[in-house]
Amino acid sequence: MQKLSDCFEVGIGGGIYEAYDSYRNTSLTTNGIVSLTGSYRIYNNWATRITWDRVLTSYNRDSDVVLVGLGYEFKRGHEKGGKRWDTIELKKFEID
């Protein structure tokens, strides 16, 4: 994910997967998938998100899926001072 501002993030992803057509009882086929996503934080831990997925096949049955939703970010172990739960602090240790 790329943070564009304090409220807006975008992302892109892709990969492959194998699918089996049980209706035609055919062998496994390898398909690709590409995804684009965007998120807008509307209030503290609340955000809206839209994701577009494109499934790429070797025949004329490519498909598009659009997901739109509302999400809540859980902040476990939220400490005083505004540190996020997923923040990692590295400390230097020296051995003499």
Going along the chain from its start, the domains and CATH numbers come out as 2-72 (2.20.200)
For residues 13 and 35, the answer to whether their CB atoms sit within 8 Å is yes
pLDDT value at 8 more than 50:
yes
Higher local confidence (pLDDT), 41 or 85: 41
Residues 53-87 pLDDT 10s = 999 887 788 889 999 999 988 874 444 455 554 44
Share of the chain above pLDDT 70, in %: 75
Beta strands, E only, 1-96: 2-3, 8-19, 29-43, 46-56, 63-72
For residues 39 and 48, the answer to whether their CB atoms sit within 8 Å is yes
What pLDDT was estimated at residue 89? 52
The residue behind tokens 């602090």 is: 89
On average, the pLDDT of the chain sits at 79
What pLDDT was estimated at residue 51? 94
The residue behind tokens 């004329």 is: 60
What pLDDT was estimated at residue 54? 93
Q: What DSSP character marks residue 76?
A: T
Residues 31-40 pLDDT 10s = 899 999 999 9
